[in-house]
Amino acid sequence: MKKRTAGLMMAAALAVTVLAGCGGKVKFEPKVSSIYVKKDGTVVSADIEDFVGNNYSEAELKTYVEDAVKEYNSEHGAAAEAYVDEEDKDASLPVQIESLTVEEGVASLLLEYEKCGDYLEFTGTAGTEKGVDRLELSTVGETDFSGNFQNAKGEDVTLEGVTKKEKNSVVIIEGAATIQVEGNVQYVSAGVSLVDKHTVATQAGSVSYIVFK
C-alpha cells in the first residue's frame, strides 16, 4: 500500500474531547503528530504540517485526502465515503476523516481507523525512517512480554508485577511515535518516555510495550 498521507504530516491547534478508560474525560490535544489508541481497538491519528509555502490550496488538500480515504474504504469492501453519517449510530468505515483544517498556516488532519491494521496499511509508513512498523492492541494475559519495565513513576519493576493484572490493556508498537492511550499508563518497557499519565513517546528500532487501564 502506498503512503496515502505523504505531505500531510501536521497538527497544532487541534483539540478533540475523547473518553478516557477510567470514567473521566480527557482531551486529545496533540502538539505534535500523535496516535491515540482506544480500548475498543480503534485508532485516531493527528497529523501536523506547516502549510505555508505549499503550491496547492486548502481545497486541493481536502480533495486529495477525501479521495485517498474513499479509495481505501472501497478497496476494503466498505462504502466509497470519507465521512461517517453521524445520525447512523451503527455506521462505520475502515478509515474516516474526523477533522481537516488549515488555520494560521498550519494544516491539521484527524483520521479515525477501525483497527490498528487499517492505520498501518493506510499510512504506509512501515520501513521508513520515522515510520511505524507494528501497532497492536492486546491484553496483558495475551501478550508475550520481553525486556525490562518501569512503572508510571519511572521505577524498575519485575515482569511478575507487570503481568499480575491480565485484563489490563497493552499497546505494542515498533517505531518512534507519541502515543496516547484511553486510560492511565501503568507500565512501559525500557526506552519508553512517559509524557503524562495518558501519553508516552517510543523510540525507533525497537518494540515497545505500554500497559494501561
Residue 9 has pLDDT above 50, yes or no: no
**Coil, strand or helix: which one is 159?**
helix
181: which residues sit within 8 A by CB, 6+ positions away?
21, 36, 37, 169, 171, 198, 199, 200, 210, 212
**pLDDT tens digits for 149-187?**
999 999 999 999 999 999 999 999 999 999 999 999 999
What end-to-end distance do the CA atoms of the chain give, in Å?
Answer: 33
List C-alpha distances in Å: 68 to 105, 120, 145, 171. Answer: 23, 15, 36, 27
The predicted pLDDT at position 4 comes to 53
